[in-house]
Amino acid sequence: MSADDMSVPAAELVIVGHYDKGPGYATRRPSGSPSWLLMWTQEGAGLVEQGGAALTAGAGDLVVLASRAAHHYRTAGERWRFWWAHFQPRPSWVTWLRPYALSPGCHLAPAPDTTLGRGANLPPGSVAPGRLGPPSAESPSLSGRIEQAFLRAHAYARWSGRGVPPEPGETSRPVAAMAERARELVLGAVEEILLLATAAPDTFGPDPDDGENGPSPRGVSASGAGGLSGAGPGGVRGAGAGGLSGAGVDRRVARALELIAAEPGAPHTVTSLAAAVALSPSRFAHVFAERTGRTPMRAVRAARLAHAAQLLEATDLDVGQVAAACGFVSPFHFSRTFAQEYGLPPRAYRHRLNA
């Protein structure tokens, strides 16, 4: 069964397809669709209307339309090459999409590799992460990862639920996932696409102290563009990582804390963290200390020790393995630093927990 056989896909179906349409292609559903619809443009552009919103989806833009609302979409110009999927969302997906709502039921997540204007409006001498050259095969762009997820979703939809799922292949025909296991795999790929497409941009504009925050992504509220809140995705909290809350949070400091918390054992330095948030090392160190009350490397140390405590509590890794996993240069240095923070060396700390 394919979407070509259905003007309005049934609510329970999970369908994945890839189209390359020229002028004249259009779909109009006056009563909407029982399922949600996701469209991700690879090349050209499409005009999309739903719920009072009208938008042009260009390369890299993700459009998500909720069910039960009239919509109309068509090729804009000479070509519209795009992936699409019909599905029922998991509850968390609606939360991720909310900051990107243009109207009730119509969402636009702009191209993730160009969300902040391709690195424009950066201060002199700053660095735009990920803008140092074209992505390599070893380090694909975010758009490349999204494309790979769609290819997997299309292949998974063809799976019978037994044996090994097929590899990505020919994509000219839409496919409906009929087997329960196939549907779950497709939904997992769709979830990956949504997470990648709605990730906060990893580029930074001028110093907020100068009253310039750079352009916001189109169709995205301030919180969706990387703003911080107590419970929102991407929020930073926890004393171990130097968490921040309340007014006056600097988004560059918050991003540095996110990087530290996500991978405490990485070889973080003031220079590497500063580069990740488009600041000079001296400016970054000053802003970080001003906003958190500690130096960047003290925040790294605290995050590493907190991570080490978790590993000691939850795993049977020996002290040397824990030290290496948390970025310490030697087990001796780790043990001494851990004892200074927790009042017990690592082995005694674990023994006390298991006593």
What DSSP string describes 288-316?
HHHHHSS-HHHHHHHHHHHHHHHHHHH--
Instruction: Give the other-Cβ count within 10 Å of 173's Cβ.
Output: 12
Question: What confidence score (pLDDT) does residue 12 get?
Answer: 76
| For residue 136, pLDDT beyond 70 | no
Q: What is the mean pLDDT of residues 107-134?
A: 47
* Both structure tokens of 93: 């997906």
Distance CA 47, CA 342 (A): 59
Distance CA 296, CA 330 (A): 21
| For residue 238, pLDDT beyond 60 | no
Question: What confidence score (pLDDT) does residue 204 get?
Answer: 61
Q: Do 158 and 182 touch, CB atoms closer than 8 A?
A: yes
Question: What confidence score (pLDDT) does residue 352 get?
Answer: 87
Q: What percent of the chain has pLDDT over 70?
A: 74
Distance CA 355, CA 346 (A): 14
- What are the chain's domains? 1-206 (2.60.120.280), 238-355 (1.10.10.60)
Q: Do 70 and 50 touch, CB atoms closer than 8 A?
A: yes
For the chain, the C-alpha Rg in angstroms (whole number) is 24
Angle in degrees, 0-180, between the axes of helices 296-314 and 251-262, rounded to the nearest 10: 30
pLDDT for 72-95, tens place per residue? 999 999 999 999 999 999 999 999
Q: What is the mean pLDDT of residues 219-232?
A: 32
The secondary structure of residue 164, as a DSSP letter, is S
Q: What is the mean pLDDT of residues 264-269?
A: 94
pTM more than 0.85: no
DSSP collapsed to 3 states, 68-125:
CCCEEEEEEEEEEEEEEEEECCCHHHHHHHHHHEEECCEEEECCCCCCCCCCCCCCCC
Distance (Å) of CA 288 to CA 240, 293, 297, 304: 15, 8, 10, 18
Question: What confidence score (pLDDT) does residue 128 get?
Answer: 34
* Both structure tokens of 41: 């443009």
pLDDT for 144-172, tens place per residue? 999 999 999 999 999 999 999 999 988 98
Question: What confidence score (pLDDT) does residue 250 get?
Answer: 85
